[in-house]
Amino acid sequence: MHHRTAMTLAMVACATQAAAQMPGAPILQNAWASPGIVVAFNFAGGSEGPVYSAAASWAAASARLQLSGGIGLGSSDHSGSGSNTVYGLRLAVPLGGRSAAFGFGAFAGVGAGAAPVDTLASATTFPIGLAIGWRHSLGATAGFSVYATPSYTFLTAGSSQTGLMRASVGVDVGLTSAIGITVGTEFGQGRPGTEGGPSGTLYGLGLSYALGHR
């Protein structure tokens, strides 16, 4: 796999990784990173109501370490309190070969936002998990990636605490060496929406752009 194709396929991973970990958004994490800075705009929906957000990620030149963060507005279907701010941070460590068709990695994150009205001040999530992916080039400047993200999320909302096993599947499409699109969904264990945390299936859509020359 030559250098340009490898970089294109790394770009395929950008949209989801720039989404960070925000309550109400699916935990989507690809197995590769694109060196440099990537910005993204994301939409999520499902059991927690819609979330609109902006995010950015940075990865080292080695593509072995990535930090991403995001902030957005969520509108809970359960709280009746209108829009509230949500934000998140995530650290990911891709472990597979930079030009390999199959990859894997690990990640940990934190996200927070306003809790439902019957809890205290805020709801905070701490997800940890794995990323397993496969990617394929479509010429020298495009490609796609399919991946799965099993995770365990420790969640606290007011005085209530719990742990949930969740899983996500996603597809990243690199339209060019700088522009990527992501679609994905998350499912698994849940809890009543009035207690904070996912109570059903979540889905997301992201559009990302890699800054600088590619």
pLDDT for 49-68, tens place per residue? 788 999 998 888 888 888 99
Q: From 29, 33, 20, select the one nearest 72 (Cα to Cα).
A: 20
DSSP-assigned letter for residue 12: T
SS3 5: helix
pLDDT means over runs of 10, the chain (214 residues) = 49 55 86 84 85 89 87 68 81 82 92 61 84 85 88 82 91 84 91 72 90 66
The pLDDT, as a whole number, for residue 9 is: 53
Rounded Cα distance between 137 and 101, Å, is 9
Q: How far apart are the first and last CA of the chain?
A: 16
Rounded Cα distance between 205 and 184, Å, is 7
The pLDDT, as a whole number, for residue 158 is: 66
All structural domains of the chain, each given as residue ranges with its CATH number in brackets, are: 3-210 (2.40.128.130)
The pLDDT, as a whole number, for residue 84 is: 81
Residue type, 146: V
Please state, in angstroms and as integers, the Cα–Cα distance from residue 121 to each residue in 87, 88, 116, 159, 162, following that order.
15, 17, 9, 10, 17
SS3 211: coil
